[in-house]
Amino acid sequence: LENLALIPGCAGSSPIQNIGAYGIELKHVCEYVDCIELATGNAQRLTAEQCRFGYRDSIFKHEYQDRYVIVAVGLRLAKQWKPILTYGDLVRLDPATVTPREVFDSVCHMRMTKLPDPKVNGNAGSFFKNPVISSETASELLAGWPTAPHYPQPDGSVKLAAGWLIDQCELKGTTVGGAAVHRQQALVLINQNNATSDDVVQLAHHVRQRVGEKFNVWLEPEVRFIGRTGEVNAVEAIA
Protein backbone atom coordinates (compact mmCIF):
# COMPACT_ATOMS: atom_id res chain seq x y z
CA LEU A 1 0.00 0.00 0.00
CA GLU A 2 2.99 2.33 0.43
CA ASN A 3 2.99 3.05 -3.33
CA LEU A 4 -0.49 4.60 -2.91
CA ALA A 5 0.64 7.06 -0.22
CA LEU A 6 -0.93 10.54 -0.25
CA ILE A 7 -3.59 9.81 -2.89
CA PRO A 8 -6.35 12.18 -1.72
CA GLY A 9 -9.83 10.81 -1.09
CA CYS A 10 -11.65 8.27 1.03
CA ALA A 11 -11.06 4.52 1.17
CA GLY A 12 -14.68 3.97 0.18
CA SER A 13 -14.19 5.81 -3.09
CA SER A 14 -11.03 3.93 -4.03
CA PRO A 15 -12.78 1.01 -5.79
CA ILE A 16 -14.81 3.32 -8.05
CA GLN A 17 -11.75 4.58 -9.88
CA ASN A 18 -9.55 1.58 -9.07
CA ILE A 19 -7.03 4.11 -7.79
CA GLY A 20 -3.39 3.54 -8.60
CA ALA A 21 0.06 5.07 -8.53
CA TYR A 22 3.69 4.05 -8.99
CA GLY A 23 2.98 0.51 -10.19
CA ILE A 24 0.17 -0.47 -7.80
CA GLU A 25 -3.60 -0.37 -8.29
CA LEU A 26 -6.31 -1.09 -5.73
CA LYS A 27 -7.23 -4.29 -7.60
CA HIS A 28 -3.86 -5.78 -6.61
CA VAL A 29 -4.82 -5.71 -2.91
CA CYS A 30 -8.63 -5.66 -2.91
CA GLU A 31 -10.39 -8.81 -1.67
CA TYR A 32 -13.99 -7.56 -1.67
CA VAL A 33 -16.22 -4.48 -1.66
CA ASP A 34 -19.37 -4.23 0.45
CA CYS A 35 -22.17 -2.04 -0.88
CA ILE A 36 -25.83 -1.31 -0.23
CA GLU A 37 -28.54 -1.02 -2.87
CA LEU A 38 -30.11 2.39 -2.36
CA ALA A 39 -33.61 1.40 -3.50
CA THR A 40 -33.97 -1.57 -1.16
CA GLY A 41 -31.33 -1.20 1.54
CA ASN A 42 -30.07 -4.70 0.75
CA ALA A 43 -26.41 -5.35 1.48
CA GLN A 44 -24.19 -7.03 -1.10
CA ARG A 45 -20.56 -8.17 -1.12
CA LEU A 46 -18.72 -8.15 -4.43
CA THR A 47 -15.49 -10.05 -4.95
CA ALA A 48 -12.65 -8.22 -6.66
CA GLU A 49 -13.47 -10.12 -9.84
CA GLN A 50 -17.12 -9.06 -9.67
CA CYS A 51 -16.00 -5.42 -9.34
CA ARG A 52 -14.63 -5.69 -12.89
CA PHE A 53 -11.64 -3.53 -12.11
CA GLY A 54 -9.95 -1.95 -15.12
CA TYR A 55 -7.61 0.95 -15.69
CA ARG A 56 -9.26 3.69 -13.62
CA ASP A 57 -12.51 1.79 -14.04
CA SER A 58 -14.91 -0.55 -12.24
CA ILE A 59 -18.53 -1.68 -12.16
CA PHE A 60 -19.18 1.30 -9.88
CA LYS A 61 -18.74 3.64 -12.87
CA HIS A 62 -21.26 1.66 -14.90
CA GLU A 63 -24.18 -0.54 -13.76
CA TYR A 64 -23.70 0.26 -10.07
CA GLN A 65 -23.04 3.98 -10.47
CA ASP A 66 -26.40 5.35 -9.36
CA ARG A 67 -27.79 2.30 -7.59
CA TYR A 68 -25.31 1.40 -4.86
CA VAL A 69 -23.27 3.05 -2.13
CA ILE A 70 -19.97 1.53 -0.98
CA VAL A 71 -19.75 0.98 2.78
CA ALA A 72 -16.61 -1.15 3.21
CA VAL A 73 -13.51 -2.31 1.36
CA GLY A 74 -11.68 -5.52 2.24
CA LEU A 75 -7.95 -5.66 1.57
CA ARG A 76 -5.57 -8.63 1.51
CA LEU A 77 -1.84 -8.01 1.78
CA ALA A 78 0.88 -10.60 1.23
CA LYS A 79 2.68 -11.64 4.43
CA GLN A 80 5.93 -11.73 2.47
CA TRP A 81 6.41 -8.09 1.43
CA LYS A 82 7.80 -7.48 -2.04
CA PRO A 83 8.62 -3.91 -3.07
CA ILE A 84 7.31 -2.52 -6.36
CA LEU A 85 10.05 -0.20 -7.60
CA THR A 86 9.26 0.25 -11.29
CA TYR A 87 8.19 3.89 -11.46
CA GLY A 88 9.77 7.29 -10.89
CA ASP A 89 12.40 7.73 -8.22
CA LEU A 90 11.60 4.27 -6.82
CA VAL A 91 13.87 2.69 -9.44
CA ARG A 92 16.84 4.17 -7.55
CA LEU A 93 16.09 2.13 -4.42
CA ASP A 94 17.85 -1.18 -3.82
CA PRO A 95 15.26 -4.00 -3.80
CA ALA A 96 17.55 -6.11 -1.65
CA THR A 97 17.69 -3.66 1.25
CA VAL A 98 14.75 -1.25 0.86
CA THR A 99 12.10 -1.07 3.58
CA PRO A 100 8.37 -0.27 3.28
CA ARG A 101 9.01 2.99 5.14
CA GLU A 102 11.63 4.02 2.59
CA VAL A 103 9.23 3.33 -0.28
CA PHE A 104 6.51 5.28 1.54
CA ASP A 105 8.83 8.23 2.18
CA SER A 106 10.01 8.23 -1.45
CA VAL A 107 6.44 8.22 -2.78
CA CYS A 108 5.46 11.04 -0.42
CA HIS A 109 8.50 13.06 -1.50
CA MET A 110 7.67 12.61 -5.19
CA ARG A 111 4.05 13.63 -4.72
CA MET A 112 4.83 16.65 -2.55
CA THR A 113 7.58 17.97 -4.85
CA LYS A 114 6.03 17.24 -8.25
CA LEU A 115 2.30 17.69 -7.66
CA PRO A 116 0.57 20.95 -6.77
CA ASP A 117 -1.00 21.41 -3.36
CA PRO A 118 -4.80 21.52 -3.93
CA LYS A 119 -5.05 23.99 -1.05
CA VAL A 120 -2.98 26.42 -3.12
CA ASN A 121 -4.01 25.60 -6.71
CA GLY A 122 -7.27 23.76 -7.27
CA ASN A 123 -6.72 20.56 -9.21
CA ALA A 124 -7.98 17.00 -9.57
CA GLY A 125 -4.61 15.29 -9.68
CA SER A 126 -3.67 13.46 -12.86
CA PHE A 127 -6.07 14.85 -15.46
CA PHE A 128 -5.40 12.32 -18.23
CA LYS A 129 -5.08 8.55 -18.23
CA ASN A 130 -1.80 7.04 -19.29
CA PRO A 131 -2.72 5.81 -22.79
CA VAL A 132 -2.55 2.09 -23.54
CA ILE A 133 -1.72 1.31 -27.17
CA SER A 134 -1.06 -1.78 -29.27
CA SER A 135 2.45 -3.22 -29.51
CA GLU A 136 2.52 -2.33 -33.21
CA THR A 137 1.65 1.30 -32.54
CA ALA A 138 4.20 1.37 -29.73
CA SER A 139 6.94 0.07 -32.04
CA GLU A 140 6.22 2.86 -34.52
CA LEU A 141 6.25 5.51 -31.79
CA LEU A 142 9.45 4.20 -30.19
CA ALA A 143 11.18 4.20 -33.56
CA GLY A 144 10.80 7.97 -33.59
CA TRP A 145 11.15 8.56 -29.82
CA PRO A 146 13.30 5.73 -28.43
CA THR A 147 13.55 7.35 -24.99
CA ALA A 148 9.78 7.48 -24.47
CA PRO A 149 8.80 5.83 -21.16
CA HIS A 150 6.76 2.72 -21.91
CA TYR A 151 5.48 -0.18 -19.87
CA PRO A 152 4.55 -3.50 -21.55
CA GLN A 153 1.28 -4.94 -20.25
CA PRO A 154 0.38 -8.61 -19.67
CA ASP A 155 -1.99 -8.64 -22.66
CA GLY A 156 0.72 -7.47 -25.06
CA SER A 157 -0.33 -3.84 -25.16
CA VAL A 158 1.95 -1.01 -24.03
CA LYS A 159 1.21 1.77 -21.56
CA LEU A 160 2.73 5.19 -22.23
CA ALA A 161 3.33 8.07 -19.84
CA ALA A 162 0.81 10.79 -20.65
CA GLY A 163 2.86 13.37 -18.74
CA TRP A 164 5.88 12.67 -20.94
CA LEU A 165 3.81 13.02 -24.13
CA ILE A 166 2.42 16.36 -22.96
CA ASP A 167 5.85 17.54 -21.90
CA GLN A 168 7.30 16.76 -25.35
CA CYS A 169 4.72 19.13 -26.80
CA GLU A 170 6.19 21.87 -24.56
CA LEU A 171 2.86 22.55 -22.92
CA LYS A 172 3.96 23.11 -19.32
CA GLY A 173 2.69 26.49 -18.20
CA THR A 174 0.21 26.77 -21.09
CA THR A 175 -2.90 28.69 -20.03
CA VAL A 176 -6.47 29.07 -21.22
CA GLY A 177 -8.25 31.70 -19.19
CA GLY A 178 -7.52 30.91 -15.57
CA ALA A 179 -6.62 27.25 -16.19
CA ALA A 180 -3.01 26.13 -16.69
CA VAL A 181 -0.85 23.09 -17.28
CA HIS A 182 1.21 22.65 -14.13
CA ARG A 183 4.86 23.65 -14.60
CA GLN A 184 6.28 20.75 -12.58
CA GLN A 185 3.96 17.96 -13.72
CA ALA A 186 2.41 18.26 -17.19
CA LEU A 187 -0.22 15.64 -16.38
CA VAL A 188 -1.95 18.01 -13.95
CA LEU A 189 -4.21 20.90 -14.95
CA ILE A 190 -4.63 23.55 -12.27
CA ASN A 191 -6.92 26.44 -11.42
CA GLN A 192 -4.31 29.18 -11.57
CA ASN A 193 -6.54 32.23 -11.52
CA ASN A 194 -10.29 31.80 -10.96
CA ALA A 195 -10.63 29.35 -13.85
CA THR A 196 -14.07 28.49 -15.14
CA SER A 197 -15.11 24.99 -16.14
CA ASP A 198 -15.00 26.14 -19.76
CA ASP A 199 -11.37 27.20 -19.29
CA VAL A 200 -10.49 23.73 -18.06
CA VAL A 201 -12.37 21.99 -20.88
CA GLN A 202 -10.77 24.19 -23.54
CA LEU A 203 -7.30 23.66 -22.07
CA ALA A 204 -7.85 19.89 -21.96
CA HIS A 205 -8.98 20.00 -25.59
CA HIS A 206 -5.85 21.94 -26.57
CA VAL A 207 -3.56 19.46 -24.79
CA ARG A 208 -5.34 16.48 -26.36
CA GLN A 209 -5.08 17.98 -29.85
CA ARG A 210 -1.39 18.81 -29.56
CA VAL A 211 -0.48 15.34 -28.30
CA GLY A 212 -2.69 13.68 -30.91
CA GLU A 213 -1.19 15.68 -33.77
CA LYS A 214 2.39 14.96 -32.65
CA PHE A 215 2.15 11.30 -31.62
CA ASN A 216 -1.18 10.07 -33.06
CA VAL A 217 -2.07 9.10 -29.50
CA TRP A 218 -5.34 10.55 -28.23
CA LEU A 219 -5.53 11.17 -24.52
CA GLU A 220 -8.63 10.47 -22.44
CA PRO A 221 -9.46 12.26 -19.19
CA GLU A 222 -9.00 10.34 -15.98
CA VAL A 223 -11.24 12.77 -14.12
CA ARG A 224 -15.02 12.64 -14.43
CA PHE A 225 -16.96 15.60 -15.86
CA ILE A 226 -20.14 16.67 -14.09
CA GLY A 227 -22.46 18.97 -16.02
CA ARG A 228 -25.62 20.81 -15.01
CA THR A 229 -27.75 17.67 -15.14
CA GLY A 230 -25.20 15.03 -14.13
CA GLU A 231 -22.18 13.25 -15.56
CA VAL A 232 -21.23 13.83 -19.18
CA ASN A 233 -18.86 11.91 -21.45
CA ALA A 234 -15.44 13.40 -20.70
CA VAL A 235 -13.86 12.32 -23.99
CA GLU A 236 -16.67 13.87 -26.02
CA ALA A 237 -16.44 17.06 -23.93
CA ILE A 238 -12.82 17.70 -24.94
CA ALA A 239 -12.81 16.13 -28.42
Query: Of 106, 111, 126, 208, which is the active-site residue?
Result: 126
Query: Of 14, 25, 56, 208, which is the active-site residue?
Result: 56
The vertex-19 CA angle with 68 and 212, nearest 5°, equals 110
> Is 25 marked active-site?
no
For residue 125, give the nearest of 19, 35, 2 by alpha carbon: 19
For residue 9, give the nearest of 89, 105, 118, 168 by alpha carbon: 118
Residue 44 has phi, psi (to 5 degrees) of -145, 140
> Is 126 marked active-site?
yes
Q: From CA 200, how far away is CA 182, in angstroms rounded? A: 12
Q: From CA 143, how far away is CA 147, in angstroms rounded? A: 9
For residue 171, give the nearest of 151, 188, 195, 146 by alpha carbon: 188
Distances (CA, A) of 225 to 3, 128, 204: 27, 12, 12
**Beta pairing class for 175-176 and 20-21:** unpaired
Query: How many angstroms from the chain centroid is the CA of residue 53?
Result: 13
Query: Of 58, 111, 208, 222, which is the active-site residue?
Result: 222
The answer to whether the beta carbons of residues 206 and 176 sit under 8 Å apart is yes
The answer to whether the beta carbons of residues 215 and 144 sit under 8 Å apart is no
Read off the DSSP letter of residue 183: S
Query: Catalytic residue positions?
Result: 56, 126, 222
